[in-house]
Structures are given as C-alpha cells and as structure tokens.
Amino acid sequence: VAVKPQLASFERLGWRGLRILEGICSFARDQGLLVIADGKRGDVPVSARAYADALTSNGIGALVDAFTVNPFTGADSIEPFVDAAERSGSGIFVLVRTSNPGAADFQDLVVDGAPLFEHIAQVVAGFADRLEGSSGLTGMGAVVGATEPDHLERIRELLPKSIFLIPGVGAQGGKATDLAAAFSPGRASALVNASRSIAGADDPARAAEQLRESLWEVSGAPSRTT
Amino acid sequence: VAVKPQLASFERLGWRGLRILEGICSFARDQGLLVIADGKRGDVPVSARAYADALTSNGIGALVDAFTVNPFTGADSIEPFVDAAERSGSGIFVLVRTSNPGAADFQDLVVDGAPLFEHIAQVVAGFADRLEGSSGLTGMGAVVGATEPDHLERIRELLPKSIFLIPGVGAQGGKATDLAAAFSPGRASALVNASRSIAGADDPARAAEQLRESLWEVSGAPSRTT
C-alpha cells in the first residue's frame, strides 16, 4: 500500500540522488502507492518551516503523502510540520519510540514516573485533532518500533486515533504476531514497514506476502488465501 | 571563518536546490571559509551511516568541514557519524541544548536529578577522544543555544574540550556578552552563529563586524580595532 523511501539513501548520491528520488516518487504515485518520505527531519521553528515546505509543496513535496519528523526540538518545532500538513493533506509520523537498541539511551529515560517517549506521545496527542480525518483516525501519527511490544501497547493508549508507522519487523527482530495492540482502532491504523528482511530474501515477493498474511491475521480478519 | 548553510533552505527547492548548495559550498571553500552543513540529521544506525556518507564523502560531503547531528535515537545512531568523521577529518556538532523556546519541552526534562541535555552531553563526551585534534580540542562538538547562558556554562563543564556551535545570538535574543563560559578552553573553542540579525540588518557588514568585536572581547583578548 505504501513505499517509504529513506531520504539518506538518496542524499548519499548528492543532488543527482534527489533527482532520482523525485522520479521514483512520481512512479510510485502513478502505480497507486502512497509515498512516505522517511527523512526524520526536525529543527527549530524557522528551519522546520523550510523542511515542511520541502515535504509538502516543492521538490518531492508534491509527490509525498506523509513524512517522518524528529521531535527533539519540542512542540514549537513540530507545529510548522502540522501547519503544512493541514494545508497539503499530508500525514505526519513523529518519532515516539524507535526500534534500534540505542533508542533506550534517551527515549526510555524516566521523567516524573514515565519514560520520555510517553511525554512525546502526549505532545503528539495535542496535535491529533488538527489532522483528524473523516474515518476518525488522525494523520498525526507516530513511529513506534516493533521491537518493544509493551511500549507499543502503552503508546496506543496515549494515541488512540493515530496511525502508527511500525519499523523493526524482520531484520531487527520484531515479530508481526506481537503487533495486535497497534491495530486496536482498526485495520487502517498501522503501517508495518519491513525493508531488509524483504529486499534480502531469496524470494522477496513471497517474503512480502507472508508478512502481509501474518499482519492481516493479527489485525483481526480471517486469513486470506491468494 | 565559517558559513553554515541550512540544508532545509535548499531542500525546499528540490534537487535543484541541492545542486545550488554544492556550488555554494565549493565557492565558500575556495574563499578559505569552513563549511558547516546544518542538516540536524539523525536516524537509526543503518540510515545514520547513509547520512554520514552524504556528509563526508559524496555529494556535498567532499565540500563539508563539519555537520550537525540530532541525538534523539541514541548513542548507536551517533556512532556512524563519528566513524565517518574520523575517516574524513570532519567535525560534528551534536544538538545538546537548542536555542528555541520549545527546547525546554524535552531537553530540559529532569532525569535522575539532571536535565536530559546533561545526559546527552555525557554521551557526546564518550566520543570526544575519537575526534581529538593536536590542539587539545575535539571535533566532537555540541550545539548549545546562547539563549540560556546557565545551561551553556554547565554543558562546558561536561564537555571541556568540545567545540561549541552557538546559535541564538541576535534575532533569538541571546547576547554575545553572556558567552564567556563557552570560550573558557580558548578562543577556538566556540563558533557563534548569527543569521537573521545580520542578513536582515541595514548594514550587514557592520552588524557582522560588531558581533565579531564583542565576541573577541568576551573570549578574553583585547578588542581589536580594524
């Protein structure tokens, strides 16, 4: 349903990489796929506005349906992205709890009895209404790694309507069968991302299909046979 | 002594903006200026490696002397940047305490009796040796806003050898006269950045010269007359 180009992989090729990326985004859209620009941008407000422009109106912006944002610089730095997304109809996935081992270094530090990622989730929740769609879900989403299922469950409590982008399944050790909580508001409420475990499989199409089936199952529907 | 192109301002122009940026970096280097790529990149290790490549070897990487990094995803995500900087001889400025009001939302939250930014400074300190130069200073630097001078003093205690990149002077309200602590290890130990207060001045050259003079004074030398 969606492709999530990692901007870093194109930036390492210089401006030519970015030109290639525009072509890929354009092709993906023509195929009916959603495009999630995974750049994890974040900066103080004046620069956040420029990044938000880049992701919603110019360059690849016109070809992107959603993008990832790093919340480190605080709510005033998330606001310009929300503002731009309101105007363009885009979705946002704010990093709340990432899937790498080092995520614990800062995101899990306990502040007033709750880990930092819960405080971030609360700030994200404060923007939820502004991107709420007619389905009841909100485009003010969160990146929540599959590698710590308990965190995922807790973040779903704090963000009942947000769409989750869930990395860490496959190569990083997360299991599709642990993700039921993420889908609690309904099947459209989470996007599970797998890259290396599919691209590196002997039969990528089969690996993708197996992942799709186990997610379909855990999200509550009878398994489809294709 | 240095120019600090904000990558967001070029990205908003799409790949053509990045091509222009390469030209600007190349021109600045020809003029003998250091180039600091201000992109505040940060991502899980596999993607951090790609960003580090983009900033040290390909594209603008070959034209960049230092770059800014967002620490949110933890030490394992900073490591690939340090590794690349060791090989290229680049410097790194990790966001420790930014200059915007929203910085307080997460960076100032208290964990075990100390604000989060001190915990980040300690992680930065752990990498300091790897980028130490012959002057005794280390290229494992920190972004520390001028808007909270007390924080700056505390972070200097935790990072005695790091070069500081100091935004927030001028338009954001920080004062050059509050920055003495930042320069305590010597005059080369801090880079003060001002953008809007210079670019928007009636006489930008004069505004820049005034800022340079007050910094020269606060950093310990007799004021120079030009």
Positive/negative CA dihedral, B164, A117, A77, B65: positive
ipTM rounded to 2 decimals: 0.94
Strands, DSSP E only, in B78-161? 91-97, 110-111, 114-115, 138-144
Asked if A159 contacts A124 with a C-beta cutoff of 8 angstroms, the reply is yes
Closest partner residue to B50 (CB to CB) among A12, A44, A123 is A12
Give the chain B residue whose CA is nearest to the CA of A113.
B111
Q: Which of B105, B108, B197 to mutate to test the interface with A (most CBs of A within 10 A)?
A: B105
Residue A40 designated active-site = yes
Nearest Cα neighbor of B143 from B42, B50, B53, B216 is: B42
Q: Which parts of A6-49 are beta strand (E)?
A: 34-41
Residue B60 CA to residue A21 CA, distance in Å, equals 17
Residues in B touching A43 (Cβ below 8 Å): 6, 8, 40
Report CB contact under 8 Å: A47, B99: no
CA atoms within 13 A on the CB side of A75: 12
CA nearest B171 in A: which residue? A46
Whether residues B40 and A42 touch (CB distance < 8 A) is answered with yes
Q: How many CA atoms lie within 13 A of A201 on its CB side?
A: 15
Per-residue pLDDT of chain A (226 residues; tens, 9 = 90+): 899 999 999 999 999 999 999 999 999 999 999 999 999 999 999 999 999 999 999 779 999 999 999 999 999 999 999 999 999 999 999 999 999 999 999 999 999 999 999 999 999 999 999 999 998 999 999 999 999 999 999 999 999 999 999 998 888 889 998 999 898 878 778 999 888 888 888 999 899 899 888 888 888 754 444 3
- A38 Rama sector, left if φ>0, alpha if ψ -120 to 50, beta otherwise: beta
- The reply to whether residue B74 touches residue A116, judged by beta carbons under 8 angstroms, is no
Give the pTM.
0.94
Cα nearest neighbour of A123 on chain B: B105
